[in-house]
């Protein structure tokens, strides 16, 4: 703890020093403290979900202290800049106490060509109202893992196509260094997006997100160390079959644990609001890539008003369906005429895997949508979600009650069906809600918030929760400063 406090002091001193060197630097140091209380042994869903792994569910009483730093040095009128960020926290709970460097990163941006390294979270989409940041496969639910990545941070025009088609892309390599079934699993991620500008107020965004878990050492003695040479890496990232170095399952199927999403976004700009349709379609193998699981999607409708100072300024609805998983029969076995016997019908089984058995989790939290829950946990490591088949409805709303009072509401209904091999009987039905109020004084860089949350369950006792906190920011304002809200990446 003494090292953490020393680091906070050093970061603050560094921020003051850099601020004197460059009038275009944006600097802030924020300190916050939040207390979480639950009526049962676990915190309600919307207290811990999509919090970048900062809030541990297993506590019924938790005090969370955070120190966040963001420093940006611009070289040429925002065209080129370097940035440093850190978020250090301590959580003192009645069941678990922990300390984290939740974010610790550096970035270099040259005309939107950007290099990132360290612990960093994805950009926040839809003002944080989405149940999974608009992407079924990648949310802001789990703690950021060590990563290095290169990306085009904003859309650039496709050469020779004028101002009609734009593109952006990302390429990342990370390591999942938590306690998991395959130790030191590598995680590859890449994406490619296009934006078609159909008119001044109508645009289509479409893209592909691809993730691969590769390498590492399995806890199974029969498997041991998994292929990780450069030639093996090329097979992983291209989604091809494994060769003789790979397990038989990877030779028959594809190398590693491959998954991802097709992303689609249609936006229409009106005089007083923007309306969007968002679709995130998951795939685990070729059946998903060929849309054989077409009923399974996240479908979202987003309405955002241009006038911010009104009771409702932003409202979002999402419907999520994941129960079909490329299975068109009533049984998980089919008769194979070539083999002359019955064989298992392999469904997609979202975000789980037979070799990488911890699935799309990190630090025992889903990296995909938090609706894929609860997790199977054994000997301190996760074995993927217990329920990857569910139907969910979700509504998120934001607004402003007065010039200093902001509010956020979330309401989610989920029907968990378990998985194909271990279905829930009865189904687990859950209704989760959040009402969040924030007060921002005019002359003090202080946020004070209170939230009331709850889970209504058909298989367990209902949970109710109360959250209270404050955040103070030491800000170096630019000559043309942005709003204070943009300087607080670690607050809701």
pLDDT by residue (tens digit) across 86-114?
999 999 999 999 999 999 999 999 999 99
Q: What is the mean pLDDT of residues 192-217?
A: 95
Say what the pLDDT of residue 26 is: 77
Report the DSSP beta bridge partners of residue 206: 194, 264
CATH superfamily of 2-487: Capsule assembly protein Wzi (2.40.160.130)
Q: Phi and psi at residue 426, in whole multiples of 5°?
A: -80, 170
pTM (2 d.p.)? 0.88
pLDDT at 391 over 50: yes
What distances in angstroms separate CA 114 from CA 24, 106, 124, 168, 170, one per listed residue?
A: 19, 10, 17, 11, 9
Say what the pLDDT of residue 54 is: 97
Q: Which of 45-49, 176-180, 436-440, 488-492 comes out lowest in average pLDDT?
A: 488-492
Q: Tell me which of 149 and 15 has the higher pLDDT.
A: 149
Q: Tell me which of 163 and 22 has the higher pLDDT.
A: 163
Q: What is the helix, strand, coil percentage profile of the chain, to 5?
A: 10, 50, 40
Percent of the chain with pLDDT over 90: 72
Residues 6 or more apart in contact with residue 340 via CB below 8 angstroms: none
Task: Tell me the pLDDT band of 9, cut-offs 50, 70 and 90.
Answer: very low
Say what the pLDDT of residue 252 is: 84
Task: Tell me the pLDDT band of 251, cut-offs 50, 70 and 90.
Answer: confident
Say what the pLDDT of residue 25 is: 52
């Amino acid at each position: 703890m003494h090292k953490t406090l020393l680091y906070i002091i050093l970061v603050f001193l560094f921020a003051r020093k850099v601020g004197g060197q460059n009038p275009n630097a944006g600097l802030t140091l924020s300190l916050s403290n939040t207390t979480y209380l639950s009526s049962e042994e676990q915190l309600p869903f919307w207290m811990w979900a999509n919090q970048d792994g900062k809030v541990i569910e297993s506590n019924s009483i938790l005090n969370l202290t955070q120190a966040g730093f963001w420093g940006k040095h611009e070289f040429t009128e925002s065209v080129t800049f370097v940035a440093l960020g850190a978020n250090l926290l301590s959580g003192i709970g009645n069941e678990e106490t922990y300390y984290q460097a939740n974010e610790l990163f550096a970035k270099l941006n040259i005309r939107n060509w950007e290099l990132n390294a360290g612990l960093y979270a994805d950009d926040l989409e839809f003002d944080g109202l989405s149940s999974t940041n608009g992407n079924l496969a990648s949310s802001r639910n789990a703690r950021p893992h060590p990563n290095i990545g290169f990306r085009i941070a904003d859309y650039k025009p496709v050469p020779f196509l004028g101002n009609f088609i734009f593109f952006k892309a990302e390429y990342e390599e990370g390591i999942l260094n938590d306690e998991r079934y395959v130790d030191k699993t590598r995680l590859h991620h890449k994406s490619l997006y296009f934006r078609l500008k159909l008119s001044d107020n109508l645009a289509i965004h479409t893209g592909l997100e691809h993730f691969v878990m590769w390498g590492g050492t399995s806890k199974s003695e029969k498997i041991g160390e998994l292929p990780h040479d450069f030639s093996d890496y090329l097979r992983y990232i291209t989604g091809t079959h494994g060769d003789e170095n790979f397990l038989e399952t990877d030779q028959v199927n594809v190398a590693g644990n491959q998954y991802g999403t097709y992303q689609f976004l249609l936006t229409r700009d009106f005089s007083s609001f923007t309306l969007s349709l968002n679709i995130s379609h998951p795939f685990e193998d070729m059946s998903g890539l060929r849309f054989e699981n077409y009923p399974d999607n996240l479908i979202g409708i987003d309405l955002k008003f241009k006038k911010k100072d009104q009771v409702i300024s932003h409202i979002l609805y999402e419907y999520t369906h994941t129960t079909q998983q490329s299975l068109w029969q009533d049984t998980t076995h089919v008769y194979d005429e070539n083999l002359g016997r019955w064989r298992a019908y392999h469904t997609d089984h979202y975000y789980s895997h037979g070799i990488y058995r911890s699935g799309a989790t990190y630090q025992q939290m889903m990296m995909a949508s938090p609706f894929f829950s609860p997790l199977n946990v054994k000997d301190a490591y996760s074995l993927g979600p217990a329920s990857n088949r569910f139907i969910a409805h979700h509504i998120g709303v934001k607004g402003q009650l007065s010039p200093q009072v902001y509010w956020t509401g979330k309401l989610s209904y989920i029907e968990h069906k378990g998985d194909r091999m271990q279905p829930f009987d009865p189904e687990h039905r859950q209704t989760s809600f959040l009402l969040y109020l924030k007060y921002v004084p005019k002359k003090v860089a202080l946020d004070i918030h209170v939230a009331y949350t709850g889970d209504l369950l058909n298989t367990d006792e209902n949970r109710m929760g109360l959250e209270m906190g404050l955040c103070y920011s030491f800000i170096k304002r630019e000559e043309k400063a942005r709003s204070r809200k943009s300087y607080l990446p670690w607050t809701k």
